[in-house]
Amino acid sequence: MAVAPSAATLRSGPTGPPGQGLSGGPGALFQLLRDGVPRTRAELVRASGLARSTVTGRVEELLSSGLVTLTGAAESHGGRPAATLAFAPDSRVVVGVDLGVSHVHVAVTDLANTVLTERLEDIRITDGPEVVLGEVATVTEQLLEAAGRTAAEVAGMGIGLPGPVEFSTGRPVSPPVMPGWDRFEVPAFFADRLDAPVLVDNDVNIMALGEHAERHPDVLDLVFVKVASGIGAGIISGGLLQRGAEGAAGDLGHVSVPDGNQALCTCGNRGCVEAVASGTAIAASLRSQGLDVAGQAEVVALARAGDPAAIAAVREAGRDIGAVLAGVVSLLNPSVIVVGGRMAAVGEQLLAGIRESVYRRSLPLGTHHLRIVGSASGASAGIVGASVLVTNLVLSPEGVDAFVLHGR
């Protein structure tokens, strides 16, 4: 594997306030260019507080790495116009992978997390890691070829899995819907295929990262709730993704619904919101009423077509989810709750139920500026989030320093 900075750099903060001198090497200076706005060397000197000779040396290192490029000339106020420099997001690519129970979504993005090419395919996660990851590897090769890129240009791969993940190692831990995956060395599977870091996280965490980056970049406190065959949450607090001590933060699906029914959950407990309000649970409820509903797709279709029973079931599921989220609002005080996943396609009926319970059960201070919205990123949230997972690492100050030093 390529030399890469510790995953702890995902939590890196600013390298220092402008005008007081940036610490570190070229990676610290690069942060001033990461927004894509062209700047002259003189502007970098003023913004960084560094000596002109230091900025010149670090700029040359960044230009040599390909992460920064000359973009033209600044507006002249007399004399020769100064050359401008900017982040070159097309200098390398990232592979983003969103794995579900029955699908794999793979994309090649640039370093600004813009999707260049992508593919969605059906898989069965129960086929095991060698089969599923082998398919991911094949699709990755084909997408890189379609994008006119090579494996040597890959800065990293991000993968989201539908189960708990030990982020420090990239190993799934006792995933309930992934037989044969427990403790499987996912990054090691790609070691002979990619000379780049491979980062693995829970699928809802990467969806939270994707939605945050694409739609809510200025929001510091956000909760992303995935409602599909299961229910989970990704938590961004203070601008940072929260994984918890054992990577189990956001396991919303196994929180009991206050005053809810006592349906048996796959975890062995009763009354979990996943057992009561997931897409699978809604479908089962409608079947018990005599409707021909095989699964989530039929629930969504019926609700969108205006079927009264489906609408009522979705609205009630929203209330149950909202009852659990009211506790999240009181505990974390997010400013935005985003609802995504397959069941979010039903639209306002689910959101209305969630809002009803959250606003009824939460204190006014916690909901004063709270927005509860549907996902605007849709199916792209996972692949974009997987890309963000990588770029947060490789474009951090330490990551860029390693890139400049080792050429990877």
**What's the pLDDT score for residue 241?**
97
Question: Who's near 374: CB < 8 A, 6+ residues apart?
Answer: 338, 339, 340, 344, 347, 351
Where do you find CATH 3.30.420.40 in the chain?
Answer: 92-207+381-406, 217-377
Q: Are 111 and 387 in contact (CB under 8 A)?
A: no
* Amino acid making up residue 147: A
| Cα dihedral 89, 194, 398, 45 in deg (nearest 10) | -30
Q: Residue 21's pLDDT band (boundaries 50, 70, 90)?
A: low
Rounded to two decimals, what is the model's pTM? 0.89
Least confident of 15-24, 182-191, 391-400: 15-24
Q: How large is the angle between the packed helices 397-406 and 52-65, nearest 10 degrees?
A: 70
Q: Residue 245's pLDDT band (boundaries 50, 70, 90)?
A: confident
210/112 Cα distance (integer angstroms): 12
Look at 145 and 20; give whichever has higher pLDDT.
145
Q: Residue 7's pLDDT band (boundaries 50, 70, 90)?
A: very low
What's domain 92-207+381-406's architecture?
Answer: 2-Layer Sandwich (3.30)
351/359 Cα distance (integer angstroms): 12
Closest by alpha carbon to 304, among 355, 349, 356, 354?
A: 349
Q: Residue 76's pLDDT band (boundaries 50, 70, 90)?
A: low
What's domain 7-90's architecture?
Answer: Orthogonal Bundle (1.10)
Question: Who's near 352: CB < 8 A, 6+ residues apart?
Answer: 315, 318
Closest by alpha carbon to 230, among 340, 329, 338?
A: 340
For tokens 């929260």, name the residue.
242
**What's the pLDDT score for residue 385?**
98
5/22 Cα distance (integer angstroms): 19
At the topology level, CATH places domain 217-377 in Nucleotidyltransferase; domain 5 (3.30.420)
Mean pLDDT of all residues in 189-215: 96
What are the tens digits of pLDDT across the range 274-317?
999 999 999 999 999 999 999 999 999 999 999 999 999 999 99
Q: Are 157 and 198 in contact (CB under 8 A)?
A: yes
The yes-or-no verdict on residue 62 having pLDDT over 50 is yes
**What's the pLDDT score for residue 14?**
36
Which neighbouring-strand residues pair with 20?
none
Look at 173 and 14; give whichever has higher pLDDT.
173
Cα distances (angstroms) measured from residue 112 to each of 35, 75, 336, 384, 389:
9, 26, 24, 10, 12
What are the tens digits of pLDDT across the range 121-144?
999 999 999 999 999 999 999 999
What are the tens digits of pLDDT across the range 352-364?
999 999 999 999 9
Where do you find CATH 1.10.10.10 in the chain?
Answer: 7-90
- At residue 294, the 3 state secondary structure works out as coil
